[in-house]
Amino acid sequence: MPPEESKPIDPKSSEEAVEEAIAELQKAESTDDEAETADTIATDGASVASSSAAKKKKSKKKKLKDVLIGTKDGTDTRKLSSGQLEQILELNPSLKAEMADTDPKEAQELLRKLNMADLLTGLTVGGKNQKDMASYKFWQTQPVPSFEDKGAVEEGPIKTVDPEKIPNEPSPLYEGFEWVTMDLENPSELEEVHHLLRDHYVEDDEAMFRFNYSPAFLDWALKAPGWRKEWHVGVRATASRKLVAFISGIPIRLRVRKITLSCSEINFLCIHKKLRSKRLAPVLIKEITRRCYRVGIFQAIYIAGVVLPKPVATCRYFHRSLDWEKLHEVGFSPLPPGSTPNRQILKYKLPEHTETHGLRSMEAKDVDSVLDLLERYLGRIDMAQSFTKEEVAHWLLNRESDPSNQVVWSYVVEDSQTKKITDFFSFYCLESTVIGSKKYSAIRAAYLFYYATESAFDSDLSRLKPRLNKLMRDVLILAKKANFDVFNALTLMDNPLFLESQKFGAGDGQLHYYLYNYRTPTIAGGVDQKNVVSEQYTGGVGVVML
pLDDT of residue 407 exceeding 60: yes
Q: E-strand spans in 156-242? A: 177-181, 209-212, 232-237
Quote the pLDDT of residue 52. Answer: 37
- Which has the higher per-residue pLDDT, 328 or 29? 328
Of all residues in the chain, the percent with pLDDT exceeding 70 is 70
Per-residue confidence at 146, pLDDT binned at 50, 70, 90? confident
Quote the pLDDT of residue 155. Answer: 86
Per-residue confidence at 524, pLDDT binned at 50, 70, 90? low
- Alpha carbon distance 94, 76 (integer Å): 26
- Alpha carbon distance 164, 161 (integer Å): 9
Q: What's domain 313-511's superfamily in CATH?
A: Gcn5-related N-acetyltransferase (GNAT) (3.40.630.30)
Residue 366's closest CA among 345, 332, 397?
397
Most confident of 63-77, 81-95, 308-322: 308-322
Q: What's domain 166-304's superfamily in CATH?
A: Gcn5-related N-acetyltransferase (GNAT) (3.40.630.30)
- Which has the higher per-residue pLDDT, 511 or 182? 182
Per-residue confidence at 76, pLDDT binned at 50, 70, 90? very low
Element (H, E) at 265: strand 259-271
Residues 362, 368, 372: CA angle, nearest 5 degrees:
105
Per-residue confidence at 530, pLDDT binned at 50, 70, 90? very low
User: Worst-scoring range by mean pLDDT, 32-41, 328-337, 386-395, 492-501?
Assistant: 32-41
Mean pLDDT of 239-245: 96
- Which has the higher per-residue pLDDT, 56 or 478? 478
Locate CATH 3.40.630.30 in the chain: 166-304, 313-511
For residue 292, the SS3 value is: helix
Q: How many residues does the chain have?
A: 546
Mean pLDDT of 325-330: 94
Mean pLDDT of 392-414: 95
Q: Looking at 308, 371, 468, 546, which residue is catalytic?
A: 546
Active site residue 464: no
Per-residue confidence at 133, pLDDT binned at 50, 70, 90? very low
Q: Is 168 exposed, middle or buried (0-12, 13-18, 19+ CB in 10 A)?
A: exposed
